[in-house]
Amino acid sequence: MNPKDETYYLIRSDMLPEAIQKTVKAKAMLASGEVQTVQEAVDGVGMSRSSFYKYKDGVYPFNALMKEKIVTISLTLEHRAGVLSGILSYLAMRRGNVLTIHQTIPLQGIAGVTMSLDTAQVLISLTELIDGMKEMDGVVRAALVGRGE
């Protein structure tokens, strides 16, 4: 299936077929460490391995999709000591996890910074996070340039 042709639905769990409900339970058992193998998980929920493999890559709990977000932010910063450090402290205080940082060589007192963040644990909305960076001393510009999982 072409990724552009994929359609997603939000469906109450009790409306799902039993095989899909069991797949979600089996995946949760594996993720939590309750079981170590797929065979243990499918035995634990009473389903076949083939059914598990048929659905495992197509069903996820809604909260998992909403939380596991990686975003890319572009910043233009004044070239002064402590500006980038201040951004990193700000993100850490809000439980943002910096995955990558790329900083250009400063030209005319301005440096470009692109960073990727894991926002799964961030305590505020992404809009609030970026708006907060825009207000920081030494930040000329802050913008969201990409998001994914």
Q: 88-111: per-residue pLDDT in tens?
A: 999 999 999 999 999 999 999 999
What is the enclosing helix (H) or strand (E) of 139? strand 139-148
How much is the pLDDT for 71? 87
How much is the pLDDT for 5? 57
Assigned token pair, 66: 């909403």
Query: Is the distance from CB of 130 to CB of 142 less than 8 angstroms?
Result: yes
**Backbone phi and psi for residue 34, each to the nearest 5 degrees, phi listed first:** -60, -35
Ranges in the chain, pLDDT < 50: 1-4, 65-67
Q: How many residues does the chain have?
A: 149
Over its C-alpha atoms, the chain yields an Rg (Å, rounded) of 21
Assigned token pair, 125: 């909305």
How much is the pLDDT for 109? 94
Model confidence pLDDT, tens digit, residues 40-51: 999 999 999 999
Helix (H, G, I), strand (E, B) or coil at 4: helix
CB atoms within 10 A of CB 134: 12
pTM of the model: 0.55
Assigned token pair, 136: 């920081």
d(CA 69, CA 72): 10
Best CA proximity match to 87, nearest among 141, 123, 124: 141
